[in-house]
Structure 1
């Protein structure tokens, strides 16, 4: 007989009240994956500070959630994540108005496509300003507060392009790879304070960003599923494009107590497209 029997782990709820009493901040919340994450968190009881630099999308999201039964609590905070001063002020305001921040989800991102030799300095700078520096700004502000309370969780939504070369996507892929590694390094530094940092890497997902690459190509979605030999791109083994909710489900798992012993991990949600 062993001399020590570990105490039974407490029950970890996974239903509608899973995030009850918790405050989350989600960037890029105005559409696509960010919007799906906000909706999923609110549906499970969280109070969400929804941020985006486009206030129209935020207003529409908050208004629609308020009309649901029961009404969900999401508050709009227009924010440009490239502005470090604005980020610090917004995080401070969220904590003052909604309560201590338990969860940060970095979703805000932009895409500039072009061959690497045709990328402009501005394309490169803009892409890194949002996709990488923006993650640094928000994560720094959130982690500084979470570590003092010895609890919290940060999830960065990167891309499977961070782990496999893509033609025409050098700036985007590099910026997402940098954001993913920053998040893991941060996770190592704050682990002893009880703060977890993880990455979700989506593949092709049915969002406005994705559809922006399909303009004028009625068969574009099927082409992504089947792959493209000319661009050295594999298809999607599961045979479907992801929905934003598929990515949100992975984010919520990593943010939940069910993942309390998971940190510095990178989960690819791409239907097997990167053959990992």
Structure 2
């Protein structure tokens, strides 16, 4: 029977690339997000991908997703907590509501994504949990304090779960990309251009230069790393925050 994976934030960017890579490897994939139209467009690219709307910040929504998807396609063997968002502002201008919203999506959402799978995976003594974190979980960046705090939290959550589950055969890891060429990056560029008056070209060049290879990470690079972590040859890899950044962090 085909393995079953959950990929949150699967309607675009990195989530889409991961879902397609898993599906092309013969894995049944449930993708979720808030926009059904985007999810269905990804689902149309591979018949193994199934779209379900859900809100990672809402525990009941995630429990309902689990119930629906597992009834249709069996228990989740792979969980990829990918959903996230980022806004840019000096720390002193970040409102408490904005702080909470960023942590809700990036950190609490990651926890609510994996929590329903933990007991069953441990009982089966098999499973793969992968968090899509960021180099922001390994170092600091200015003007994105809530995002940096949240992604550091995701890396900490990963390490805690890896320690809890090490004896069960369930592995827990994080991939930590640098700037990835996605719609989220384009929104960040637009925000910087609007606030600083810099050109799009100058802004993109400045962001790309954070990578010693002087380029943006591509979504398929992250998808390939996730696919490897899901394989049997990665069964001893757990508790790791894997930097995908061209040498920016390690």
The TM-score normalised by the length of structure 1 is: 0.85
How big is the shift at 1:250? 1.0
> What is the rounded CA distance, in whole Å, between the counterparts of 1:152 and 1:95 in structure 2?
15
Q: How does 1:94-243 map to 2 (within 5 A)?
A: 94-215=69-190, 216=193, 217-219=199-201, 220-226=203-209, 235-243=210-218
The residue number in structure 2 matching 1:270 is 245
> What is the rounded CA distance, in whole Å, between the counterparts of 2:53 and 2:64 in structure 1?
12
Q: Is the 8 A contact 1:48 1:73 kept in 2?
A: yes
Could you tell me which runs of 5 or more consecutive residues in structure 2 were left unpaired when the two chains were aligned.
Answer: 194-198
Q: How does 1:39-78 map to 2 (within 5 A)?
A: 39-65=20-46, 72-78=47-53
Q: How many residues align?
A: 242
Structure 1's consecutive aligned runs of 4 or more residues displaced over 3 angstroms after TM superposition are none
Q: Is the 8 A contact 1:105 1:154 kept in 2?
A: yes
Bigger-Rg structure (1/2) = 1
How big is the shift at 1:95? 1.3
**1:213-263 deviation digits (Å, cap 9, x = unpaired):** 11243212222223xxxxxxxx21112111111111111111111101110
How big is the shift at 1:105? 0.2
RMSD: 1.2
The residue number in structure 2 matching 1:84 is 59
Q: Is the 8 A contact 1:155 1:199 kept in 2?
A: yes
Q: Is the 8 A contact 1:236 1:270 kept in 2?
A: yes
> What is the rounded CA distance, in whole Å, between the counterparts of 1:194 and 1:225 in structure 2?
38
How big is the shift at 1:144? 2.0
Match of 1:251 among 212, 222, 226: 226
Q: Is the 8 A contact 2:169 2:235 kept in 1?
A: no
> What is the rounded CA distance, in whole Å, between the counterparts of 1:210 and 1:151 in structure 2?
35
Q: Is the 8 A contact 1:114 1:168 kept in 2?
A: yes
- Greater displacement, 217-226 / 138-147: 217-226
Match of 2:9 among 7, 11, 28: 28
The TM-score normalised by the length of structure 2 is: 0.94
The residue number in structure 2 matching 1:6 is none
